[in-house]
């Protein structure tokens, strides 16, 4: 493998980690010596939220001003690539200044191509967050449920993680193996020790084997083990074990994607809670009937950590997004997601629908203007847990 291919492969791996925060603008970087690049971007947003706490009763609305600068420091070597990213989210609530807050996010990524068969990608991150809603409106997978503090106090928490993925096998080899490991910490800073029972350390491990059956298609078998170690409640300590099989393909005809199907089991260390078994699947499929039009379908079913008195949550989420380029500078996105959460050990069931639509106008290479609307509804059978929420927004994203 050439050194140029090595760098491209590593840069792509790191970009996959960073793409969650990517924007449509095409930013220019400030280049320093030895290939070091500094890339700043800035997004400002004004939105109207008619239910800022995502609650059924005592609904409060507000105009919200959000400012999100992001800074990326990156470099590439002969067989390595590195990126350090910092961003903050400052939100000001016109009708509720006690809820004003600033979130901080730091990520460090590194990739190493030792030779044609051996590659390693590392990541470490830290987040300091306040969330005034009783649900994360943006997180359709419900990976982290965020309960509110006392008397409507925002949930204040930090997360820290460090981990990596080692890949053995050339990109075009018949077989390939990936080994992943991570360590995560969740800590709350709410007053009076609220939410302390949810503080935990999490250790996910993963092993995936691939077998090539066609030039762009591989079968896969994946095993996972995740240990949850709760700091203040040993009864919640548990291990999640999953076995999945599936297929992954790259740009075959007009589609690409990965489909995994299997089963998952949660085993508690103590007998306070009953163990949980559930079928599991994960799928992501991209279909581009035209070069200017793309559909993305994602779906997942699995076992999430407990909340609201539940030992665990059987969660199922499906999301569909359509991106279309109408003109050279005008594009749109329409999205819909459905989530069904069943709380084990209780009778609670939440059905969450989120619909979104947005337009982006590329005024300049370095400036995007966006307008959007999102609607969310939670149909819960638990008293006081249902809600409706509308968000209208206009945003400006700029770079050098």
At 14 the pLDDT is 53
Domain count, the chain: 1
Write out the residue range of the structural domain in which residue 294 sits: 3-399
Q: Is 349 exposed, middle or buried (0-12, 13-18, 19+ CB in 10 A)?
A: middle
% of the chain beyond a pLDDT of 90: 70
Residues in Cβ contact with 318 at an 8 Å cutoff, skipping those fewer than 6 apart: 297, 298, 299, 337, 338
Model pLDDT for residues 352-388, shown as the tens digit of each residue: 999 999 999 999 999 999 999 999 999 999 888 899 9
SS (H, E, C) 136-165: CCCCCCCCCCCCCCHHHCCEEEEEEEEEEE
Q: CA-CA distance, 283 to 97, in Å (whole number)?
A: 41
Model pLDDT for residues 184-218, shown as the tens digit of each residue: 999 999 877 788 888 999 999 999 999 999 999 99
Instruction: Give the CATH number for residue 372.
Output: 2.40.160
At 139 the pLDDT is 46
Res. 279: pLDDT tops 50: yes
- 102 is written with which tokens? 């600033």
What average pLDDT score do residues 21-49 get?
A: 85
Q: CA-CA distance, 391 to 376, in Å (whole number)?
A: 9
103 C-beta neighbours (distance < 10 Å), count? 15
What average pLDDT score do residues 153-176 get?
A: 93
At 136 the pLDDT is 46
Name the pLDDT band for 310 (thresholds 50, 70, 90).
confident
At 12 the pLDDT is 53
């Amino acid at each position: 493998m050439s050194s140029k291919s090595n760098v491209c492969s590593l840069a792509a791996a790191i970009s996959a980690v960073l793409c969650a925060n990517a924007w449509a603008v095409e930013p220019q970087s400030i280049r320093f010596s030895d290939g070091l690049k500094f890339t700043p971007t800035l997004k400002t947003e004004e939105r109207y939220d008619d239910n800022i706490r995502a609650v059924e009763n005592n609904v409060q609305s507000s105009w919200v001003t959000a400012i999100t600068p992001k800074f990326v420091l990156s470099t590439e070597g002969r067989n390595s690539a590195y990126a350090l990213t910092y961003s903050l989210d400052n939100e000001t609530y016109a009708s509720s200044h006690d809820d004003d807050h600033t979130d901080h996010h730091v990520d460090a990524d590194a990739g190493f191509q030792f030779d044609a068969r051996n590659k390693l990608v590392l990541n470490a991150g830290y987040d300091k967050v306040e969330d005034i809603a009783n649900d994360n409106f943006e997180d359709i997978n419900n990976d982290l449920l965020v309960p509110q503090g006392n008397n409507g106090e925002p949930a204040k928490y930090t997360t820290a993680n460090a981990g990596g993925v080692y890949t053995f096998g050339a990109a075009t080899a018949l077989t390939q193996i990936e080994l992943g490991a991570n360590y995560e910490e969740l800590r709350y800073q709410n007053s009076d020790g609220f939410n302390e029972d949810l503080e935990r350390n999490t250790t996910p491990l993963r092993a995936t084997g691939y077998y090539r059956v066609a030039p762009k298609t591989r079968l896969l078998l994946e095993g996972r083990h995740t240990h949850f170690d709760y700091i203040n409640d040993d009864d919640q300590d548990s291990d999640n074990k999953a076995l999945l099989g599936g297929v992954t393909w790259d740009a075959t005809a007009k589609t690409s994607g990965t489909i995994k199907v299997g089963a998952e089991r949660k085993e508690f260390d103590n007998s306070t809670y009953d163990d949980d078994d559930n079928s599991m699947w994960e799928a992501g499929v991209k279909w581009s009937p035209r070069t200017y039009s793309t559909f993305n379908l994602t779906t997942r079913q699995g076992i999430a950590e407990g909340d609201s008195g539940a030992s665990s949550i059987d969660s199922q989420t499906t999301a569909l997004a359509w991106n279309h380029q109408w003109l050279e500078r005008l594009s749109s996105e329409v999205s819909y997601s459905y989530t069904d959460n069943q709380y084990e050990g209780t009778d609670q069931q939440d059905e969450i629908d989120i619909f979104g639509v947005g337009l982006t106008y590329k005024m300049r290479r370095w400036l995007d203007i966006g307008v959007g609307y999102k609607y969310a509804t939670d149909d819960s059978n638990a008293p006081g847990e249902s809600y409706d929420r509308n968000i209208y927004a206009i945003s400006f994203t700029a770079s050098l």
